Amino acid sequence: MAEAVLTRRVIACGWVQAGLCARRCPARAPMIGRMVFRSPVERVLPDRLAGERDALTQQLDFHRATLLSKLDGLDDASLRRPMTASGLSLLGLVKHLAETEHGWFVKIYARLPEADLYSTDVDPDAEFRVGPDETADALVGQYLRSCERARAVVAAGGLDDVVPTPWGAEVDLRAILVHMVQETARHNGHADIIREAIDGVTGD
C-alpha cells in the first residue's frame, strides 16, 4: 500500500568507503577512503493517477525519501557541518523533520500525551542543532521511526477528521498531510543548497 512505500523499499543502510565516485568529482576527492553514509531508502515516484489519500501519502513519502538522498555519499563531518548563518546542517534538517512528523501526526492528530523528541522549554531550538554525541545513524533512525508512526496514524484515520491544535485552531488530517508535504519539500530545497555548497552535487 502507499503508506508503506518508504519502509517497504528499505535497502542496505549504513556506511561504505568512498572511492571511484569521489575520484570522478574533484570536489569530493577529500572523501576518498572515508566512510560515507548510504541512504536506507530509495525514492519511488508517486502515481500520476491516484485518489486523494494515495496522492497525498505518496507525495509525502517521495519527499521523505528525497531528504535522505541528500545525505547519500557524505561523511559524518559533512553531514553535521553547519552551512548557514543560523548553523543549519543536513542532519539538523533530518532532526527537525523527525520532530515535525512526531508533532503533527502523533501529538496533534493522534492526541497522544508525548513529549517533543528534542525541543524543550529551556532549549526550543534543540531540534535544529546536532550535538557531538548524536550520530547520523541515530538521527536517521529516529526520522524513519517517526515517519513509520505517522504512516500508521494516517492509515487508521479519515481525511475529514478534525482535531484542535495547541494554539486553538482546528485542522483536519487532509490539511496536516498537505502541510507536511509542503514542509518536507521546503526543507528539501534547503538540503539541495546545503549539499551543493558542501561538494557541488546537485540533483532532483
Q: Which amino acid is at 91?
A: L
**Is-contact 96 190, C-beta < 8 A?**
no
Domain spanning 2-199, CATH architecture:
Up-down Bundle (1.20)
Please name the helix (run of DSSP H) or strand (run of DSSP E) that holds residue 17, with its range, or none.
Answer: strand 14-17
Query: pLDDT per residue over 106-141, tens digit each?
Result: 999 999 999 999 999 999 999 999 999 999 999 999
Please name the helix (run of DSSP H) or strand (run of DSSP E) that holds residue 148, with its range, or none.
Answer: helix 136-156
pLDDT of res. 203: 82
How high is the mean pLDDT in each 10-residue block of the chain (204 residues)? 35 51 48 80 96 98 98 97 96 98 98 96 95 96 98 98 97 98 98 97 86
CA distance 67 to 97: 9
Angle, in degrees to the nearest 10, between helices 136-156 and 52-69: 180
Non-local CB neighbours of 75 within 8 Å, separated by 6+ positions = 18, 31, 34, 35, 36, 37
Give the count of beta carbons closer than 10 Å to the beta carbon of residue 137.
14
pTM for the structure as a whole: 0.86
**Is-contact 136 76, C-beta < 8 A?**
yes
Taking the domains of the chain in order of start, what are their residue ranges?
A: 2-199
